[in-house]
Structure 1
Amino acid sequence: MTTFSDLDYVNKQQTQQNQELNLCADDYSLLTDLYQLTMAACYIGEGIEQRQASFELSVRRLPPNFGYLIAMGLAQALAYLEKFRFNSSQIAALQATGIFAGASDRFWSLLAEGKFTGDVWAVPEGTAVFANQPLLRVEAPLWQAQLVETYLLNTINYQTLIATKAARLRDVAGESATLLEFGTRRAFSPQASLWAARAALAGGLDSTSNVLAALQLGQKPSGTMAHALVMALSAVEGTEEQAFSAFHRYFPGAPLLIDTYDTIAAAQRLAAKVNSGEMQLTGVRLDSGDLITLSKQVRSLLPGVPIFASGDLDEWEIAKLKAAGAEIDGYGLGTRLVTGSPVNGVYKLVDIDGIPVMKQSSGKITYPGRKQIFRSLTGGKVKADKLGLLEESSLEEQALLQLVVQQGKRLQPPETVETIRQRTAASIASLPQQTRRLDRPIAVEVQISSALQQLIDKTRKRTAQAHQTHT
């Protein structure tokens, strides 16, 4: 029965009164593409919705100049699957659209009663992966496995991108550098800013300026100051020096931003305070200008003070700064960390009721069957990866995909950011140098097992014969 609250929800949607477009866990199931719901309705109408289906999430091609990816976003994907429900208000809103007028009554009853009951296999977060390797596989009744596609791709694609960029930044900057995530104001949405902060920390950065993300993750947020404070206090209280002193009274541990007016003059005045014992300075930040020259000049004036740099930096810029001998101890990373070339992950059906299937479109071929990634190491370094079938086994190789959800129940508690960060560091250290380099990296070779190749050939032949029969 539709209640008054249900109708109120529908009316709000129809009259576009909910302009905030905020996201909460109760709305997760509706955060999907329409065709997921229409396909599910079709499956139900055809009576195949309970057929066991396997979908794998992988990346066909790495982003330009990437030699690897760091898998990330699994924690949010599993939290989503745990909460996957449609409430009566959401069902009423879907019905009010009129789109599903031809759907069977069973479609609505399944939405009302259903939850995720399948299995999930995934590579642990922080694991290095390559093109055409499944980061995750969902094995569930067809209607469930289909409906969850959009959300899984959203969180895993984005967080994998950010974690990979963070890992590259750490690899280039070195272990001793302090790396701060400053990207909240440039992230694609408030939700994305939280995911970016998490992925950046798990990928190797030290801290984030995003207060909400830091507190939710049990971390301490980090930050400095903005030019606005320097300008405001300078205008009201008289000088830049007075602005620094005022801020330092309340936050003596925060680095000072010294490039609002004259960077070197500011450094000279601070040096006088430090040398006289009037001030203990924990750091200064440079946000503009010739960072190479300025950092060297500031270092000569403040030899024991850490120097941080920011301003549209990325791994390429950090590599240039280091090569030129810049005197920089840490970096604030924002725009180029939380944006950039997308990770174009796809989620494709590979098996239905034990029947292997594959997409054969030009440039978009997928491999059939439930698969496993087998990694071989020599001297602690990745030698090669083999993509094989799940039922294959190897004593000499490491199987990367692990069962993380069984019959809808998570098998292990969520990992901490620190644990994932350690795995990321170990993953990067295990990669060949040619895979880690920024300039024309070479990804680790991914071989196809003989069993998988036989299945590919068999599936192609079966598909071709089926098409000939029906033409």
Structure 2
Amino acid sequence: MSDRALTLCAEDYSLLTDLYELTMAACYVGEQLDQRPASFELFVRQLPENFGYLIAMGLAQALEYLENFRFSSAQIEALQATHIFADVPSAFWQRLAQARFTGDVWAVPEGTAVFANEPLLRVEAPLWQAQIVETYLLNTLNYQTLIATRAARLRDTAGSTAQLLEFGTRRAFSPQGSLWAARAALAAGLDATSNVLAAVQLGRQPSGTMAHSLVMAFSAIEGGEDEAFLAFHRYFPGATLLIDTYDTIAAARRLADRLKTGEMDVRSVRLDSGDLAALSQEVRSLLPNISIVASGDIDEYKIAELQRNGACIDGYGLGTRLVTGTPVNGVYKLVELDGVATMKESSSKASYPGRKQVYRCYDNNQWQSDCLTLVTEPPERGEPLLKLVVKQGERVYEPESLEAIAERTAASVARLPTQIRQIQQPSMVQPNLSPALQELTERTHRRIHPSYTERNQAGGTGAAGSKTAH
């Protein structure tokens, strides 16, 4: 098999997994554990630095993956050819040949604000299925949640009227990543993307400007900046002009003259370098009725700085800082197997046991608190965040439009207190734990560490008494 372009299609999804997912599944089959009902939850232990919340995103692609969970005969033959699985039982290959996702999935709707240790998604399925799907689910939810959160912070900082354009395709981590980044950014409130494929697939109009190379090409053969602007507007009337290839202010002055004579109809210009605050102020004085777009490693911190410095900027092109950055380190942990609660207790990586629900309480339409409970408990006061989206392998949650998700994102952020939304040193939220969840955590710890009870009775301090889940 050649590497060709290493492109990805739906038929490849099942092999897009870490090796250990398959080796563990084979072990489950050999030990006759594979059909035991298992529950895994996907959550984030700790938010990226200076993030007070996350915006859940990526569910649509996760559900598409589960709907296409198959292993073709060619894929099975490729796995067998590795000789890694030489000693596994033949029943493992039968499982793969007949693979379909048959479980239930509970998930937080896309565009919902979530906090550390709150499940974004729960998979309830036969153990071997729930194990194998881990890698792909983490990939799509982690990355799109990062992009959506950054986009929401950018929108919150720039304000509702600023034009925010996603320009990150050339900086995204892969061609596939660029499509997911464009989708997540639009779903979290950005206005448009320059990624033509993403825009076409999502039913949106792509948006872009021009590059310095157009001006440089005309300067090399036909004249200079003015000729480049005239030629570009000949074919794309009213398109945004990039005016800082050589001398931003000189270009703005010449454009102002052409506007007065009616030679050109300029609606917006882009600044990509220099002191953006000072340049935008001077350009605004020369072109008072023209929209000014800024780009060049813009993030929420840069926007806030430009606002403090009185920049006259109407929109932003957002690329590198939007589609890259500190990752969202979501994890996917077994919380229950065949009715028995499980938990991880590694140092700084502990988890809470049992299948859980998150209840959100509001006061005067503002976020007040979240409570983490067991699904077996009576409903708490507030709104349950996790919804049933797949039942026995069949989707029961209708696909949502980007517009609907963007509205939810805006509403979720608007209902958070300012101290959680701020982009520097925000307040960090942990959900309250229900008494039943606290008791189950303690009981599970005692089961895992039988000597804990004896130490406690002797007056010692048990580990669970001091350990918190992070």
What TM-score do you get using the length of structure 2 for normalisation? 0.95
Is structure 2 residue 257 aligned with structure 1 residue 268?
A: no
Q: Which residue of 2 aligns with 1:3?
A: none
Is structure 2 residue 404 aligned with structure 1 residue 419?
A: yes
Is structure 2 residue 241 aligned with structure 1 residue 256?
A: yes
RMSD: 1.3
Deviations 1:86-136 (A, max 9, x none): 000000000000000011000001100111000000000000000000000
- Structure 2 unaligned segments of length 5 or more: list them: 455-470
Per the TM alignment, residue 466 of structure 1 is displaced from its structure 2 partner at its CA by 8.6
- Structure-2 separation of matches of 1:466 and 1:121: 36
Is structure 2 residue 385 aligned with structure 1 residue 385?
A: no
Is structure 2 residue 391 aligned with structure 1 residue 406?
A: yes
Following superposition of structure 1 onto structure 2, how do residues 43-442 of structure 1 map, counting pairs within 5 Å?
Answer: 43-394=28-379, 396-442=381-427
- Structure-2 separation of matches of 1:466 and 1:155: 41
Q: Which residue of 1 aligns with 2:10?
A: 25
Contact 2:42 2:330 in 1 (8 A): yes
3-state SS, counterpart of residue 185 of structure 1: coil
- Structure-1 separation of matches of 2:224 and 2:145: 45
Per the TM alignment, residue 445 of structure 1 is displaced from its structure 2 partner at its CA by 4.1
Contact 2:359 2:381 in 1 (8 A): no
- Structure-1 separation of matches of 2:300 and 2:377: 39
- Structure 1 unaligned segments of length 5 or more: list them: 1-11
Contact 1:383 1:444 in 2 (8 A): no
3-state SS, counterpart of residue 170 of structure 2: helix
Q: Share of identical aligned residues, percent?
A: 67
Deviations 1:332-361 (A, max 9, x none): 000010000000000000000000010111
Q: Which amino acid is the alignment partner of residue 362 of structure 1?
A: S
3-state SS, counterpart of residue 311 of structure 2: coil
- Structure-2 separation of matches of 1:249 and 1:79: 43
Contact 2:389 2:395 in 1 (8 A): yes
Call closer, same or farther: CA 1:73–1:286 in 2, change over 3 Å. Answer: same
What TM-score do you get using the length of structure 1 for normalisation? 0.95
Per the TM alignment, residue 393 of structure 1 is displaced from its structure 2 partner at its CA by 3.5
- Structure-1 separation of matches of 2:398 and 2:419: 35
Q: Which amino acid is the alignment partner of residue 150 of structure 1?
A: T
Per the TM alignment, residue 249 of structure 1 is displaced from its structure 2 partner at its CA by 1.0
Deviations 1:402-445 (A, max 9, x none): 00000000012211111100000000001000000011000334
- Structure-1 separation of matches of 2:441 and 2:205: 50
3-state SS, counterpart of residue 450 of structure 2: helix
Per the TM alignment, residue 298 of structure 1 is displaced from its structure 2 partner at its CA by 0.2
Per the TM alignment, residue 365 of structure 1 is displaced from its structure 2 partner at its CA by 0.5
3-state SS, counterpart of residue 388 of structure 1: strand
The answer to which of 28-37 and 231-240 deviates more is 231-240
3-state SS, counterpart of residue 46 of structure 2: coil
